[in-house]
């Protein structure tokens, strides 16, 4: 029985490592999209809106994946990272602001939200939260 439990924990560790890796890949894609959107501001509104739609979809996926990762860490490894929840709340407010600004066609607010709020939050994930998650998983 002990061997089976150890085997299951090893599979959980592999799943968590793979999930973190996919999360990093998605985060890199999102940051690339942000940089592309910044290049479109504000001259090419049509392309900008297409990019913005893709970006918000990917951010929603990112939040879903990292929420699942956080739940898995808590249930299987008893690791709680409160900063993840705080970051998710901030991302939801940014997404709401992006949606409202896009509906109002307020390119200045959109630009500020993307350049400052969104980019800062995702940079925090890249340099702090994902490495922290890896360290805690490996400790």
As separate numbers, helices (DSSP H) first and strands (DSSP E) second, the chain gives 6, 0
Q: For the purposes of burial, counting CB atoms within 10 Å of the CB of 79, is it exposed (0-12), middle (13-18) or buried (19 or more)?
A: middle
Query: For the residues 5-25, what does the mean pLDDT come to?
Result: 78
Q: How confident is the model at residue 122 (pLDDT cuts 50, 70, 90)?
A: very high
Position 37 scores a pLDDT of 75
Find the angle CA(41)-CA(33)-CA(90) to the nearest 5 degrees: 90
Q: Alpha carbon of 110 to those of 27, 31, 42, 48: distances in Å? A: 20, 16, 10, 10
Position 95 scores a pLDDT of 92
Position 85 scores a pLDDT of 93
pLDDT digits (tens, 9 = 90+) for 27-82: 999 998 888 777 665 556 666 677 888 888 999 999 999 999 999 899 988 999 99
pLDDT digits (tens, 9 = 90+) for 70-116: 998 999 889 999 999 999 999 999 999 999 988 898 888 988 999 89
DSSP 27: H
Q: Cα–Cα distance between 113 and 121 in angstroms, integer?
A: 11
Q: Cα–Cα distance between 18 and 42 in angstroms, integer?
A: 38
Q: Coil, strand, or helix at residue 43?
A: coil
Contact criterion met (CB below 8 Å) for 113 and 98: yes
Contact criterion met (CB below 8 Å) for 21 and 86: no
Does the structure show a pLDDT above 60 at 8? no
Tally of structural domains, the chain: 1
Find the helix or strand (DSSP H, E) in which 3 lies: helix 2-40
20 lies in which domain range? 2-138
């Amino acid at each position: 029985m002990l061997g089976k439990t150890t085997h299951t924990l090893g599979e959980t560790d592999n799943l968590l490592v793979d999930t973190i890796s996919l999360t990093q890949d998605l985060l890199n894609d999102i940051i690339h999209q942000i940089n592309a959107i910044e290049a479109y501001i504000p001259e090419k509104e049509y392309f900008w809106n297409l990019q913005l739609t893709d970006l918000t979809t990917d951010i929603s996926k990112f939040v879903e994946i990292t929420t699942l990762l956080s739940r898995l860490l808590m249930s299987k490894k008893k690791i709680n990272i409160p900063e993840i929840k705080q970051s998710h709340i901030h991302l939801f407010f940014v997404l709401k602001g992006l949606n409202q600004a896009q509906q109002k066609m307020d390119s200045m607010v959109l630009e500020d939200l993307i350049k400052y709020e969104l980019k800062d939050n995702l940079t925090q994930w890249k340099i702090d939260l994902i490495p922290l998650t890896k360290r805690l998983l490996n400790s």
